Amino acid sequence: MRFSKLIHLSRVLLWREVRSGQMNIIILALLLAVTSATVISVFSSRLDAGMLDKSTELLGADLRVRSNAAIPPSFYQQAKLLGLKTTTTLEFPSVVVAGNMGAGNMGAGNEYAGDEMALAAIKAVDKGYPLKGSVTISNTLSSEGNVVHAGPKPGEIWLESRLFALLNTKIGDQVEVGRKTFHITAVILKESDRGGNFYSLSPRLMMNLNDVEAAGLVQVGSRVTWRLLASQANANDHTLDDYKAWLVPQIESFQNIESLSDNNLAMSGALKKARSYLSLAAILAILLSGIAIAMAARDYAQHHFDTSALLRTLGASRAQVLTLFILQLIYLAVVTSMAGLLLGTGIQELLVEVLRGLFSNNLPPAEYSAWVIAAATAPFTLIGFALPHLLRLGRVSPLRILRRELEPMSWNIGAVYGLAMAAIFALSFWFTDNLLMSAIVVFGGFVVLIILLFLVQLLLRIGDKIVPTHRINLVFRFAWQHIIRDTRSTSTQILAFSIILMVMMVINNVRTDLLADWQKSLPDDAPNYFAMNIQHYEIEPYQKALDTAGFGRKPLFPMVLGRLTKINQQRVQDNESINQDPALQRDLALTWDKTLPEGNKLIEGKWFTSDSGDNKQVSVEARLASRLGIEMNDSLTFEVASESFEASVTSLRYVDWATLNPNFYMIFSADVLQHLPASYLTSFHIPKDKQDQLTPLIRSFPTITLLDMSMVFKQIQGLLAQVASAVQYLLILVLLAGLVVLMATLHSSLDERIQQGAVLRTLGASKAQLRASQWSEFALLGFIAGLIAVAGTDAICFFLYNKLFELDYHIKWPLWVGLPLASSTLIMLFGAFTTRKVTQRSPITVLREI
């Protein structure tokens, strides 16, 4: 037979098969696999690009150089040479004065005539600022605001709302900054590159860089921070890397190239976790589709042994027969890939829509490689899951025409599973770029599956021994016998469905419990404001003021800002594996305390005891310790205002950052820091009805910085909810893949069921009896699957909650009844639908075909 003839024949055969519905399961499974792969591949690629965008937005640029002195002109020249855009910002603290300082050009309606002063964090910005991100400003204190991509014009200033309260001014008023008077033209609502050190926030005042000199604000020796902001026009070119390479040797000790702050890292960490969850869901969907493909392919091969034998008898070679069937697979792969790519693209758009708001701009498009990976899914799953079964078609002996019982040899079982695992592992590694996770999911999953399969079979065998079959009604006995007859096939069906249920339940539990726990851990009177920069002489009056206003206050912590410079006498900046860590690039808030603060838990070591008071000890937050490689008894060197001191690590602490209490990376024994000048911080709760009392408090203590934590709370909660709903969308794909597996298992037993149905009807069974028997079989399968799922969910959640989330897990008893019943009903309906042919076809037609 010529190749062109083979191509023609394969097309004709495939088209017939497709029309007869024989290929439905393979097509559905392939479609699901490619769709899931497209969703995750394209979405991850876009998310990665988006996260990069987000971080540049938080920097206000692609790259930022920070310096305590003016940036050398050569830095700008080199950037220009490489085609980068640049701009400059200058930050410094300064006292600003509001009031009638100018020549009577006060804003209309200003009844205030005195001088009101406040310390402001001034940021002077040049033309072009911000290169990335935006500033949100408003003309009134209460409106929503507009997003702008520029700073104030010369002669104008923008203030943060807190500063309006401190200065008792409003828009249109005048404020003196240095030697110059400025007009307030807007309120700053949001500044995307604010970042900075959380503990040294003063209210922002933004002005134009050109006004700085005239105001005489910056003199030699002033505490100022210059920043050079640079950005490249095209995200994909490498000019930025070239610039960075040029910069590194030029950087002096008072300069550094900035990376993201801790808060921003937390955000990108959450997104990375979300990505992992999504990848996991996608891999699961592909794995389940693969199983369905394998089952359908085995079925398909068995149905085509006769065709293969016939073709061989007619003179076709093994290779020709094999080509004929493989060509059909290739057509299927091409068509389903195209449809899956389209469908996947649509679904990932939906996910992007769900996560909208996390990114201020639209997510950038995916890279081409993402599409290539998605398109490779169909061939990969077919090779991994369908090929071993189809290759048997090439081994069919022509003698089968005479002796139907002759079946071609199966592949070695190890080879079949090995190939499948290799395929899924390759895909998983491609998607996640995470070797460990892929290995755990694929190989760990395989081991768990085998164990579960064994357990379910054991359970069924025990059931077979203890169920008194002769006491059961004939119809139900027949159903029960069907379940226990082929325990291997039955346990596969049960397992397929229980795994799907389990995954859905675990994710649902985690989502609701984590959200609930987060809310529970924040009681109604949880602190919603932080007060910082409290001087020791202000402690008493401030606490009194809080009590008088009726704000519930939390303990007060002393705070000294200092840097970690050495670990075990090794300079941290010399250690390349950790020197980029944000915690080493800035001052840390250091404190001392005699008791372990609320929300902290010792993991290793002992808390300071009173008799160890002068031992120079420090307790380190466990995650930071692991990031920086700090271990118990290590000696840490810190620098505070050019004084350096050492302390040895005597404990590691877990810190619940979600408590919204002041939390610290480093807590010292009192002897270490006590002699250093410290400011204090505390947190307190302002009830909704007492918000108006905040302004007098701010005015009475103008130098104390207040931070509104309810915003942070809302942001984190929003993030959790968005990630959870994105995961749920992918779970629908997992559920569908699971249903296809179920369909494949039911389909592989359909021939036998139809024959049985015909024989039973010939022997006088009514349709109702047949249905009752089959439906009760499915219902029982569903019930067992539900029980296993609920037990598995509790086991997994118990482990996850205790080991990972540190939460108490309470077994959900109502689920032990609800889930088996629900799954029983669902499988019964699904099984009834799949096997409806059993009662629909006339018995004589069926018996004649066999």
Q: Which residues here bind other proteins, judged by CB under 8 A?
A: 470-471, 474, 478, 481-482, 485-486, 752, 755-756, 758-768, 842-845, 847-848, 850
Nearest to other proteins of 486, 646 (CB atom): 486
Distance CA(767)–CA(240), nearest Å, equals 75
The residue among 13, 789, 696, 70 whose CA lies nearest residue 329 is 13
Take residue 254 and report the two structure tokens written for it. Answer: 């008072």
Distance CA(652)–CA(601), nearest Å, equals 9
What does DSSP assign to residue 68?
Answer: S
Nearest to other proteins of 749, 823 (CB atom): 749
The phi-psi region of residue 642 (left if phi > 0; otherwise alpha if psi is between -120 and 50; otherwise beta) is left
Alpha helices in 21-135 (DSSP H): 24-59, 73-81
- The DSSP secondary structure of 677-731, one letter per residue, reads --EEEEEEE--GGGGGGHHHHHHHSTTSEEEE-HHHHHHHHHHHHHHHHHHHHHH
| Contact in structure between 300 and 308 (CB atoms under 8 Å) | no
CB 777 to other proteins: min, Å: 11
What does DSSP assign to residue 135?
Answer: E
CB 764 to other proteins: min, Å: 2
Which whole-number Å values give the CA distances from 65 to 54, 210, 233, 242, 262, in the listed order? Answer: 18, 20, 18, 15, 18
The residue among 615, 618, 616, 612 whose CA lies nearest residue 650 is 618
Take residue 470 and report the two structure tokens written for it. Answer: 């002769």
Nearest to other proteins of 426, 760 (CB atom): 760
Classify burial at 103, counting beta carbons within 10 Å of its beta carbon; exposed 0-12, middle 13-18, buried 19 or more.
Answer: exposed
Distance CA(390)–CA(313), nearest Å, equals 19
Nearest to other proteins of 36, 487 (CB atom): 487
CB 35 to other proteins: min, Å: 37
Nearest to other proteins of 721, 844 (CB atom): 844
CB 19 to other proteins: min, Å: 15
Nearest to other proteins of 618, 765 (CB atom): 765
Residues 6+ apart with CB under 8 A from 490: 460, 483, 484, 781
Nearest to other proteins of 12, 844 (CB atom): 844
Amino acid 612 reads: S
Distance CA(632)–CA(627), nearest Å, equals 14
Nearest to other proteins of 663, 756 (CB atom): 756
CB 729 to other proteins: min, Å: 41
- Angle, CA of 262, 265 and 268, to the nearest 5°: 160
* β-pairing verdict for 643-655 and 600-605: antiparallel
The residue among 343, 61, 278, 171 whose CA lies nearest residue 724 is 278
Nearest to other proteins of 22, 481 (CB atom): 481
CB 491 to other proteins: min, Å: 16
CB 468 to other proteins: min, Å: 10
Distance CA(602)–CA(654), nearest Å, equals 6
Nearest to other proteins of 2, 471 (CB atom): 471
CB 756 to other proteins: min, Å: 6
CB 383 to other proteins: min, Å: 33
Positive or negative CA dihedral for 687, 690, 693, 695?
Answer: positive
Nearest to other proteins of 669, 776 (CB atom): 776
The residue among 324, 293, 284, 294 whose CA lies nearest residue 307 is 324
CB 412 to other proteins: min, Å: 24
Nearest to other proteins of 245, 474 (CB atom): 474
Phi, psi of 177 (to 5 degrees): -125, 115
CB 480 to other proteins: min, Å: 11
- Angle, CA of 448, 499 and 375, to the nearest 5°: 95
Nearest to other proteins of 97, 832 (CB atom): 832
Nearest to other proteins of 688, 848 (CB atom): 848
The residue among 562, 557, 563, 561 whose CA lies nearest residue 536 is 557
Neighbours of 683 (CB within 10 A): 23
CB 776 to other proteins: min, Å: 16
CB 721 to other proteins: min, Å: 50
CB 810 to other proteins: min, Å: 43
